[in-house]
Structure 1
Amino acid sequence: MPSAKIFAATVFGGSLEVAEELMPCLEQAGYQVTVYDEPQLSDLTDQLPDLAVFCVSSTGSGDFPPNFADFAHTLDATGAPIAGLKYGLIALGDSSYPTYCGAGRRLDELLTEYGAQRVGERLEIDATEVLQPYQEALDWAEEWVKLL
């Protein structure tokens, strides 16, 4: 069975809720799924999955949330053997800030820089327009898994 890892970068739990809601969708698509809420880069690289999904909220000036900062900084500083990794990315943010979805956009750049291949488009969910981000993420995921 192919493996999928879902990584949640969250401050108040919204991205983790999205990650947990995505789990059944990927399981129905035939993946064995693990969700990481305190991820380290080694969680991705020690055993590269067939698929990775990143649910990333932004904090401060478009920064990574504290639970994801080590992951992102290690990837940025040292790189990672992730060439060929297929991934999807859901960025959560607030468009009233100039750094809207800044952490998700930055992670997308880093993953691409080290050879990972995004499948489909990045989903950006705006907190000023969407009350329950997990529903928009599920709608995206149902279409996204068809691209795999």
Structure 2
Amino acid sequence: MARALIIFGSTTGNTENTAERIGGILNAKGLEVTVQNVSDATPGDEAGYDLVLYGCSTWGEDEIELQDDFIDYYEAMDKAALGGKKVGVFGCGDSSYTWFCGAVDAIEEKVRNIGGTLVAEGLKIDGEPDDYEDEIDAWATGVAAA
């Protein structure tokens, strides 16, 4: 059975809820899923997983700011076991900000730089994830099939 790790950082609960929803879909598609808060994660935890998903919200008006708990992990991601691994990135944000879901873009760039293989375009959720259930489900289904 393929194994998936979902590492998320969430302040308001939106990204956590999205991570749990994605995890449920992947599980229903036959993957063994671990959902882990980034505050409990260390780069290198990805070893032994076939698929790694990162979920991070974006803050900041003047520059991209990752969710607070995600910052230390992001800065140490060069130690992540992503070489040749399938990876996806999702995040929640607010499109009224200049850097709408910029954390998704920043994490994707980091993944590419350290040898991970992005299996889907980053999922960017504008506002409440409950308003985007169909999009989340379709993204998760596509990632599971990758």
> In the aligned structure 2, how far is the partner of 1:79 from the partner of 1:43?
10
2:107 maps to which residue?
107
Is 2:24 the counterpart of 1:24?
A: yes
Q: 1:132 aligns with which of 110, 114, 130?
A: 130
1:58 maps to which residue?
58
Match of 1:42, SS? coil
> In the aligned structure 1, how far is the partner of 2:4 from the partner of 2:12?
24
Query: Under a length normalisation based on structure 2, what TM-score does the superposition of the two structures give?
Result: 0.86
Letter in 2 for 1:95: S
Match of 1:112, SS? helix
Gaps of 5+ in 1: none
> In the aligned structure 1, how far is the partner of 2:83 from the partner of 2:142?
24
RMSD over aligned CA atoms reads 1.8
Contact kept in structure 2, 1:2 and 1:31, CA below 8 Å: yes
Distance 1:56 1:120, change over 3 A: same
> In the aligned structure 2, how far is the partner of 1:131 from the partner of 1:74?
28
Gaps of 5+ in 2: none
1:34 maps to which residue?
34
**Once superposed, which parts of structure 1, at least 4 consecutive aligned residues long, lie more than 4 Å away?**
none
Distance 1:5 1:80, change over 3 A: closer
2:74 maps to which residue?
72
Letter in 1 for 2:75: H
User: What is the CA distance between 1:133 and its match in structure 2?
Assistant: 5.3
Letter in 2 for 1:22: I
Query: Under a length normalisation based on structure 1, what TM-score does the superposition of the two structures give?
Result: 0.85
Distance 1:35 1:3, change over 3 A: same
Distance 1:101 1:2, change over 3 A: same
User: What is the CA distance between 1:91 and its match in structure 2?
Assistant: 2.3
Match of 1:23, SS? helix
User: What is the CA distance between 1:51 and its match in structure 2?
Assistant: 0.3
User: What is the CA distance between 1:48 and its match in structure 2?
Assistant: 3.8
